[in-house]
Amino acid sequence: MTSTWVNKIKWFVILVLIQGVIISQVQVSRYAVPLLYVVFILKLPSDTGRKSLLFYSFLIGLCVDVFGNTPGLNATASIWLAMARPQLLRWQTSRDAAETFVPGIKSMRIAPYFRYVFPSVLLHSAVLNVVDAFSISKTTDIAIATLADTVVTVVLIMIIEFLGRKK
């Protein structure tokens, strides 16, 4: 139990630092910004309660916002993802509702995991870009940024999953 909390805290800190220190400085352009911290939300155990899920999501989004000086953008998108995550996860698993698992390629297989990750990241990215633009007149820019962010993030998540699978 204690090692689970230590692992969560370790991953939380690592992902926030990677997002805040490295990714925010190395972004390719204003498009295609990897949103790697989303992995933390996606990898929480399937039995994580709604309140805990919302709290963790808000907290990691807020920490990324503090690093990136983006007041509330990432926290808002993370909350939206947290609200949709249980349904997105349920759509891709044929498991009994009582069975607890950590979403990943090992527990779900490649195709269902991809079908869980892609819409999750797409939703998160769409909310983030819409709230960031705060204008309906920039729909093309919002769509391009959302698709680019989603593709880059999903590719990175799948690479992380495949590397973690080798251990």
| Close Cβ partners of 16 (under 8 Å, ≥ 6 residues apart) | 37, 60, 63, 64, 67
Domain that holds residue 152: 2-165
Q: pTM higher than 0.85 for the full model?
A: yes
Provide the token pair at 72: 């509330």
What's the pLDDT at 25? 66
Q: Cα torsion at 100, 105, 5, 23 (round to 10°)?
A: -140
| Mean pLDDT of all residues belonging to the chain | 87
Residue 44 DSSP one-character state: S
Number of domains within the chain:
1
pLDDT tens track for 75-125: 999 999 999 999 999 888 865 555 788 899 998 999 999 999 999 999 999
**pLDDT tens for residues 18-42?**
887 777 666 556 677 889 999 999 9
**Confidence band of 136 (pLDDT split at 50, 70, 90):** confident
